[in-house]
Chain A
């Protein structure tokens, strides 16, 4: 217990980096006072009370307000929802912790955090349960003459219904314009542009440097996602080759880097699904039987959305992959602040963060998650828009912390390393991703530079 309280102090001293009280930020003192209380609901309420001042300064925390469909003036309802959410959370949490009763050594501060994070997930889940109303909200929004992109982002953050995912992604990626009347025309033009670029650079004699890029992609693509039969089809592999080649020659500073192919996959699958009937099984569809026009559209849309998506993380793929190295260091610092026990455990066994998190960053977790989960994760990434690069760091942190109890049970380097490179996510589904991103959001909310974040909202 003594050690726990010491850890608390360490961590809170970090929280107090900006000494003045910041609205909407948990006051460290209040959190400490509740941290010895075993009742999860009380600690949740304490937390809520400690951040309640956010409502006083007229700062809208749009994310929270929106996710729970609460207007800022409706505080009573907010409390009711928060409390019922808290109860759900506790029940959920009880079920989830039943099988790990031996982990009572878990520091209270950690338990508290989990409860808080679950509450947001619960709201997300409730929204998802009410799938039809969510879908109709999306549909209404997509039909407005001038799309409120911010609204769409907020709505998409917690997951986009399958039926309208393709259109939503096109809008979120900035590929389709907000003005509904211009969408058709822009789409046709962009698709044609892409076809022309392919004609000009792909189906011609290539310069030597382009030839090297092509060769690399060409031998790489057949090795992609070997377990998914869709990607063994020649037609599909050729589509990927063209997308990656065109992207690479348009981005000479990075060129083609292994792993980017995995980032095309969610786009390709979502746009492909859009062309199929609901009952077509993606694993059994023969892409070569789809009409050339439709196939070209899927390819062009995947290309443009990928390009937009990669814009904010280009430094991940340039020489020396500085963007990734920087983020790996940030992840290390972050875990040190959030969960010193885990951090020390990893260091003690000579685990270097680069050894496991490099791939998480390079492939944006696609290698660690089943494809269906990557697609759900893309909803949130796309909704994060330009700040997705920094958000991904917190997703990685939340992902690591998710396994902390299992990791703490591993007592040597190789046990840890093998677990970290093969985390058991096979059974994950959308709700696991919702929890993951909610936790990432919470971490970012607490640990990122909050004052700036609030200022932006004020203005």
Chain B
């Protein structure tokens, strides 16, 4: 039996975090299925999703863990931070409390991931313009102060959803290229195209082209 052919060069692991009901699962669903789930049941523990995208001419498979937002599940969801190359931190633009909790989510992320993990802040539900509770500028400032990438997005309309996932991947890819992300580190959250199922053994296959994106 021959090893299955791989149609991608890298696997990037993502985690989606944030308060209950901010729309984490809907963002994932919109990204993987390009559909909006109007009433998705709350996530228990974690759920898994995946999609292959192209970044800088490379096929990249994203393996995404969507976590439960409820505090009680935190003990379990914390174990998924390790080994995440990208963390999508989500709040609800129509509920200030979900924005106020960002600093605690950020602390968790910084403590539990490695220094090369790319953190992307998403303000979801941007379609609900008349219910806005957090100004764009305020969140933008928070993101800048903490060195986070940031967009406002809508899982409902799909606005900026693709961008958030893809920009995170571009940033990870850049970090691989400029050497900030060590592919051989055990918990980098990135696997280079494996020659056989299992752990990456990257030696002489470092990407040659510089990303021009």
Q: How far is the CA of A25 from the CA of B61 in the complex (A)?
A: 49
B43 (CB) vs chain A CBs: closest residue: A258
Complex interface bits, A344-380 against B, C-beta within 8 A gives 1, otherwise 0: 0000110000110011001100010000000000000
Asked if B123 is an interface residue, CB under 8 A from chain A, the answer is no
- Which A residues are in CB contact (< 8 Å) with B50? 414, 418
B42 contacts which of A223, A355, A358, A414 (Cβ < 8 Å)? A223
Contact A222–B39 (Cβ < 8 Å): yes
Q: How far is the CA of A271 from the CA of B211 in the complex (A)?
A: 63
- A321-B75 contact, Cβ under 8 Å, with A219-B21, A358-B44, A412-B4: yes
- Which A residues are in CB contact (< 8 Å) with B70? 216, 257-258
Asked if A413 is an interface residue, CB under 8 A from chain B, the answer is yes
A258 contacts which of B38, B47, B73 (Cβ < 8 Å)? B73
- Which A residues are in CB contact (< 8 Å) with B40? 223, 226
Asked if B45 is an interface residue, CB under 8 A from chain A, the answer is yes
- Which B residues are in CB contact (< 8 Å) with A317? 72
Complex interface bits, A208-227 against B, C-beta within 8 A gives 1, otherwise 0: 00000000100110111110
Asked if B149 is an interface residue, CB under 8 A from chain A, the answer is no
Asked if B181 is an interface residue, CB under 8 A from chain A, the answer is no
- Which B residues are in CB contact (< 8 Å) with A418? 48, 50
Asked if A133 is an interface residue, CB under 8 A from chain B, the answer is no
A413 contacts which of B44, B47, B63, B68 (Cβ < 8 Å)? B63
Contact A258–B46 (Cβ < 8 Å): no
Complex interface bits, B42-79 against A, C-beta within 8 A gives 1, otherwise 0: 10111110100000000001010000101011011001
- Which B residues are in CB contact (< 8 Å) with A412? 4, 197
Q: How far is the CA of A320 from the CA of B79 in the complex (A)?
A: 12
Contact A255–B72 (Cβ < 8 Å): yes
B3 (CB) vs chain A CBs: closest residue: A411
Asked if B179 is an interface residue, CB under 8 A from chain A, the answer is no
Scan residues 358-412 of chain A and give those whose CB is less than 8 A from a CB of chain B.
358-359, 362-363, 367, 411-412
Contact B72–A257 (Cβ < 8 Å): yes
- Which B residues are in CB contact (< 8 Å) with A226? 38-41
- Which A residues are in CB contact (< 8 Å) with B176? none
Asked if B148 is an interface residue, CB under 8 A from chain A, the answer is no
Q: How far is the CA of A412 from the CA of B6 in the complex (A)?
A: 11
B48 contacts which of A223, A321, A362, A421 (Cβ < 8 Å)? A421
Asked if B20 is an interface residue, CB under 8 A from chain A, the answer is yes
Q: How far is the CA of A358 from the CA of B67 in the complex (A)?
A: 12
Q: How far is the CA of A319 from the CA of B76 in the complex (A)?
A: 11
- Which B residues are in CB contact (< 8 Å) with A414? 48, 50, 61, 63
- Which B residues are in CB contact (< 8 Å) with A354? 45, 76, 79
B69 (CB) vs chain A CBs: closest residue: A258
**Size class of the contact patch on chain B:** 20 to 34
- Which B residues are in CB contact (< 8 Å) with A367? 41, 44
A363 contacts which of B20, B44, B47 (Cβ < 8 Å)? B44
Q: How far is the CA of A241 from the CA of B42 in the complex (A)?
A: 16
Asked if A88 is an interface residue, CB under 8 A from chain B, the answer is no
Asked if A249 is an interface residue, CB under 8 A from chain B, the answer is no
B75 contacts which of A223, A225, A319 (Cβ < 8 Å)? A319
A236 to chain B, nearest CB (A): 14
Q: How many A-B residue pairs have CB under 8 A?
A: 76
Asked if A259 is an interface residue, CB under 8 A from chain B, the answer is yes
Complex interface bits, A198-240 against B, C-beta within 8 A gives 1, otherwise 0: 0000000000000000001001101111100000000000000
B41 contacts which of A223, A319, A320 (Cβ < 8 Å)? A223
B4 contacts which of A355, A363, A411 (Cβ < 8 Å)? A411
- Which A residues are in CB contact (< 8 Å) with B47? 421
Contact B76–A325 (Cβ < 8 Å): yes
- A359-B44 contact, Cβ under 8 Å, with A258-B68, A411-B4, A412-B197: yes
Q: How far is the CA of A450 from the CA of B79 in the complex (A)?
A: 35
Contact B20–A259 (Cβ < 8 Å): no
Asked if A287 is an interface residue, CB under 8 A from chain B, the answer is no
Asked if A149 is an interface residue, CB under 8 A from chain B, the answer is no
Contact A358–B39 (Cβ < 8 Å): no
Asked if A417 is an interface residue, CB under 8 A from chain B, the answer is yes
Q: How far is the CA of A257 from the CA of B72 in the complex (A)?
A: 7
Q: How far is the CA of A219 from the CA of B68 in the complex (A)?
A: 15
B56 to chain A, nearest CB (A): 23
B10 to chain A, nearest CB (A): 14
Contact B45–A358 (Cβ < 8 Å): yes
Complex interface bits, B1-40 against A, C-beta within 8 A gives 1, otherwise 0: 0001000000000000000110000000000000000111
Q: How far is the CA of A359 from the CA of B47 in the complex (A)?
A: 10
- Which B residues are in CB contact (< 8 Å) with A413? 63
A282 to chain B, nearest CB (A): 19
A320 to chain B, nearest CB (A): 4
Q: How far is the CA of A254 from the CA of B73 in the complex (A)?
A: 12
Q: How far is the CA of A412 from the CA of B175 in the complex (A)?
A: 27
- Which B residues are in CB contact (< 8 Å) with A411? 4, 197
- Which B residues are in CB contact (< 8 Å) with A224? 41
Q: How far is the CA of A314 from the CA of B197 in the complex (A)?
A: 40
Contact A358–B63 (Cβ < 8 Å): no
B19 to chain A, nearest CB (A): 10
Q: How far is the CA of A418 from the CA of B65 in the complex (A)?
A: 12
Q: How far is the CA of A317 from the CA of B73 in the complex (A)?
A: 9
Q: How far is the CA of A413 from the CA of B21 in the complex (A)?
A: 28
Contact B41–A219 (Cβ < 8 Å): no
Q: How far is the CA of A394 from the CA of B157 in the complex (A)?
A: 44
B44 contacts which of A325, A348, A362 (Cβ < 8 Å)? A362
- A349-B197 contact, Cβ under 8 Å, with A412-B4, A413-B63, A414-B63: yes
Q: How far is the CA of A258 from the CA of B63 in the complex (A)?
A: 25
11 of the cross-chain contacts (CB-CB < 8 Å) are A219-B20, A220-B42, A224-B41, A258-B44, A317-B72, A320-B75, A321-B76, A348-B198, A354-B76, A411-B4, A421-B47
Q: Which residues of B contact A (CB under 8 A)?
A: 4, 20-21, 38-42, 44-48, 50, 61, 63, 68, 70, 72-73, 75-76, 79, 197-198
User: Top 10 closest A-B pairs, CB basis?
Assistant: A226-B39, A358-B45, A320-B75, A359-B44, A417-B48, A258-B42, A257-B72, A414-B50, A258-B70, A259-B44
